[in-house]
Amino acid sequence: MRIARRLVAFALLLCFANAARAAEGDVQLFNGKDLTGWQVHYKEPGPKIEDVWSVKEGGILHCKGEPRGYIYTDKDYTSYKLKLEWRGVGKPGNSGALLRVTTPPPDKETWPRSIECQLQSKNAGDIWNIGKFPMKVAQDRTKGRHTKKINETNEKPVETGEWNTYEITLDGPHLELKVNGVVQNRAYDCEVSPGKIALQSEGAEIEFRNIVLTPLPDEGMTAKLAKDAKRLEGLEGWHVLGKGNWTYKDGVIAGSQPQSTKTYTHVVSDKSYENFKASIQFKAVKGNSGFYFRVQPADESRMMGIQAEIDEARDAGGMYESYGRNWLSKPKKEDVEKYFKPGEWNEMTVEGHGPHVVVSVNGTKASEINDPSIRMKGPFALQIHGGQDVEVMFKDIKIEELP
């Protein structure tokens, strides 16, 4: 019986260990054992990092809250998803996560120039601008440096000792804050610069755990992928990413891929666009495809951003955010049946002015968004969806840059 119990306990430990392990490419900012990889700044010099910050059993990072200051990463990061768990200790208090910190401020000053993702009790999801950090936020929720969250607080009560989750996505100039799975704030046109990530000691006890960073690609990655990519003979200004079968003949770009191939593949424009009007003729013979705009290639297979949906039978012209929020604007089935011609050539137009984007199919508006959190610049891409039998064709691609 004792051996059986030990085996069960050991199996459970393995399950927990596997669940906690970061995915390949992720960065464990806090190793759960000590403060390797972190430095400290206090308003008044003198205290050591361990005078305020300590590691408790179970991989918990504990902050006493006094004196005031912050710990910050040795390394700089530019674009990433940062996930962490936190909870107050004993009573409501205050703290925050600081992004794109360049250098610690001089002595006698506490906080560095940065974006603060608020962790004050019942205010997690608020944004504070420190040191006039260049960024844009919703003016109707902003007073001075402070931008209130979108929804009512959804934090766990401090008294219960439950953990909360913060998911912070800083993708180039775009910032999104999720608290316990709910989007609570966004900012855009944030200054894109490498910087430290910091956690505040701000007058109250607070604990953190599972601090994991997932790097996101940047424009340098886009340029490198384009440089190394293969090209279709006769097709100028576009390159191929992925393993799908793409051809170019008589002005038609044709793509095909069997269901057994699980990865995605794309034909991507060399040039990036900001404000634009694009038109394209497409024929979806079989399977799923899409026409991406302002996309960010993550690697040879994945495109991060919004696609105007192309499919043999459904949802044509809807807007879907890959590796993000999924459907942003989905047309009704009965409307698609009126404007979409299955198995025939269809015309799609996509027009983007800043946050406002409209997609039309055969002259009928299929979807529309006005979202300042979307990426404002990037290339176009034609998609073959992985894991499906796909045959799709494109022609007469016209892209007009707008002021």
Give tens-digit pLDDT for 171-230.
Answer: 988 999 999 999 999 998 899 889 999 999 999 999 999 999 999 887 777 888 888 899
Residue 60, beta-bridge partner list: 56
Assigned token pair, 245: 């079968």
Which residues are CB-contacts of 189 (< 8 A; sequence separation ≥ 6)? 134, 135, 136, 173, 376
308 closest CA partner among 267, 357, 342, 356:
357
DSSP state of 105: P
Q: Rounded CA gap, 355 and 377, in Å?
A: 11
Give tens-digit pLDDT for 72-86.
Answer: 999 999 999 999 999
- Give residue 221's pLDDT: 77
Residue 41, beta-bridge partner list: 70
Residue 139, beta-bridge partner list: none
Of the pLDDT bands very low, low, confident and very high (cuts 50, 70, 90), residue 24 is low
Question: From residue 154, how far is each of 164, 176, 270 by CA, in Å?
Answer: 9, 16, 43
Assigned token pair, 330: 């989905």
- Percentage of residues of the chain with pLDDT beyond 70: 94
Q: How many CB atoms lie within 10 A of CB 149?
A: 21
Cβ 232 vs Cβ 238: under 8 Å: yes
Domains of the chain, first to last: 22-215 (2.60.120.560), 219-401 (2.60.120.560)
130: amino acid identity, one letter: I
For residues 308-329, average pLDDT: 94
- Percentage of residues of the chain with pLDDT beyond 90: 80
Cβ 348 vs Cβ 308: under 8 Å: yes
Assigned token pair, 118: 């608020």
- The answer, yes or no, to whether residue 18 has pLDDT greater than 60, is no
